[in-house]
Chains A and B, each alone.
Chain A
Amino acid sequence: MPHDDHDHPHALLPPEPALRVKALETILTRKGLIDPAALDEIIDTYQNKIGPKNGARVVAKAWADPEFKQALLQDATAVVADLGYYGRQGEHMVVVENTPEQHNMVVCTLCSCYPWPLLGIPPGWYKSDAYRARAVREPRKVLSEFGVSLPKDTSVRVWDSTAEIRYLVLPMRPGRTEGLSEDELAVLVTRDSMIGTGLPRVRS
């Protein structure tokens, strides 16, 4: 394995990733700059408290309540903040609606920007070179790798998150869901359907 580029300070740390992280955590703790208990707290937040269930609640509510949906499409930041979803990487939210005419899909080609308060930490594929490189140029081919194929007349709009605006896709409400409660609807909303690489679950 080649060595790190020696012009950069990081090359002084152990090369193996787990050891590299451990070394830096230890150094910062010794200097009184990091509280290991704070790290546990951060991890717990994104592992257990904040995740795609938040986004699913928003989508289900939009499916169930036309006025809420209108407000959400108008000013998502304020509307989701009212539900308690605000914070780091979700300071400026825009929700984009799928229709029979247009399908939306979200990527960040330059890094991995993602709406954390609504979807949590992005999955591995969202951060992969392959998704970042290909989603803008061949979204339909990428969708096919997720098992999604769109009607011929549906256009695709890919949102490349190049600024601090974070996008959430509002998928179309599946058929045969009349009369379902918001909680029942939320179960149908997948993470990928809110990124635009998937569709909601169909009721069995």
Chain B
Amino acid sequence: MTRVHDMGGRFGDWAIRPESEDEPVFAENWQARALAVTLASGFLGQWNIDVSRHARERLSPTDYARFSYYEKWISGLADLLVENDVLTLDDLRDASEGDHPLAARMLRAEAVAGALAKGGPADRASDTPIKFEIGDSVRTVRPTANRFVDGGHTRLPGYAAGAKGRILKLHGTHVLPDSNAHGLGEAPEPLYAVAFPASELWVNPEHPKDEVVLDLWQSYLEPL
């Protein structure tokens, strides 16, 4: 029901290898280029952040597991460029020079600082009435899945599906990724921080008082 990226709670991974805070931001130059090419391509305006996250998630499970972090970025980007008709498959094989209809949108060096500083807020006005108050008990929907598109993008991790929690905070009304990742509109709705006791999520929680908090859209939640 979910995809390979949805790995929260999974068993079998290695110990963490902490890094000194003096390590370079990019271990290798190509990683920096991968990040920059991806950001710059985003400014062509042919997709939004939810579409681009979904492009990485849609890598085959084999590729996703085998690719390093920035390999996922660059491969997801190549797929996005073709799927959105920015490039053709032939371009990927051997690109010719020439006028491109989107060239006028190219991010120029002098525009970078302003574009990064501007950001892209995700809060929007919404007509959807706010259903829950702080302290309310809720249950997440189960199974976790995009309700509009089979196999589509969603932000409810599998480990928290069908779990009981309580509303900690209302963040306002935000773009719904399940809709926005598929060209179905921004469909903003209330977004909450929801606290779940660790005992609600794991068979053997480490401590009786531990909690996990997730940011969840109203349509992921049912009243209890």
Question: Among the listed B39, B107, B117, B122, which residue makes an inter-chain contact with A163, where contact means beta carbons less than 8 Å apart?
Answer: B122
Please tell me if the beta carbons of B21 and A190 are within 8 angstroms of each other in the complex.
yes
Q: Which residues of B contact A90 (CB under 8 A)?
A: 119
Q: Which residues of B contact A156 (CB under 8 A)?
A: 206-207, 210-211
Question: Among the listed A4, A10, A30, A130, which residue makes an inter-chain contact with B95, where contact means beta carbons less than 8 Å apart?
Answer: A30
**In the assembly, what is the distance between CA of A105 and CA of B177, in Å?**
24
Using a CB–CB distance below 8 Å, which chain A residues touch chain B? Answer: 2, 4-5, 7-10, 12-13, 17-18, 20-22, 24-28, 30-35, 37-43, 45-47, 51-52, 86-92, 94, 107, 109-112, 120-121, 123-125, 127-134, 136-142, 145-147, 155-165, 190-192, 197
Q: Which residues of A contact B68 (CB under 8 A)?
A: 17
**In the assembly, what is the distance between CA of A24 and CA of B160, in Å?**
37
Q: How far is the CB of B96 from chain A (nearest CB, A)?
A: 7
Please tell me if the beta carbons of A109 and B25 are within 8 angstroms of each other in the complex.
no
Using a CB–CB distance below 8 Å, which chain B residues touch chain A? Answer: 5-19, 21, 23-30, 32-37, 39-41, 44, 49, 53, 56-57, 59-60, 62-63, 65-66, 68-71, 74-79, 81-83, 86-87, 89, 91-93, 95-100, 102-103, 106-109, 111-113, 116-123, 155-157, 159-160, 169, 171, 174-175, 177, 191, 193, 195, 201-202, 206-207, 209-217
Per DSSP, chain B at the interface is mixed
Q: How far is the CB of B56 from chain A (nearest CB, A)?
A: 7
Asked, given contacts A160-B157, A190-B21, whether A7 binds B60 with beta carbons under 8 Å apart, the answer is: yes
Question: Among the listed B10, B89, B120, which residue makes an inter-chain contact with A91, where contact means beta carbons less than 8 Å apart?
Answer: B120
Q: Which residue of B lies closest to A89 (CB)?
A: B119
Question: Among the listed A30, A142, A162, which residue makes an inter-chain contact with B155, where contact means beta carbons less than 8 Å apart?
Answer: A162
Question: Among the listed B27, B53, B103, which residue makes an inter-chain contact with A31, where contact means beta carbons less than 8 Å apart?
Answer: B103
Asked, given contacts A7-B60, A124-B27, A133-B8, whether A17 binds B89 with beta carbons under 8 Å apart, the answer is: no
Asked, given contacts A12-B89, A27-B87, whether A109 binds B30 with beta carbons under 8 Å apart, the answer is: no
**In the assembly, what is the distance between CA of A136 and CA of B11, in Å?**
11
Please tell me if the beta carbons of A157 and B25 are within 8 angstroms of each other in the complex.
no
Please tell me if the beta carbons of B109 and A26 are within 8 angstroms of each other in the complex.
no
The 5 closest A-B pairs by CB, nearest first: A109-B8, A155-B209, A163-B215, A32-B103, A18-B30
Asked, given contacts A28-B37, A162-B157, whether A13 binds B87 with beta carbons under 8 Å apart, the answer is: no
Question: Among the listed A41, A127, A160, which residue makes an inter-chain contact with B8, where contact means beta carbons less than 8 Å apart?
Answer: A160
Please tell me if the beta carbons of A162 and B214 are within 8 angstroms of each other in the complex.
yes
Q: Which residue of A lies closest to B32 (CB)?
A: A43
Q: Which residue of A lies closest to B5 (CB)?
A: A110
**In the assembly, what is the distance between CA of A114 and CA of B56, in Å?**
17
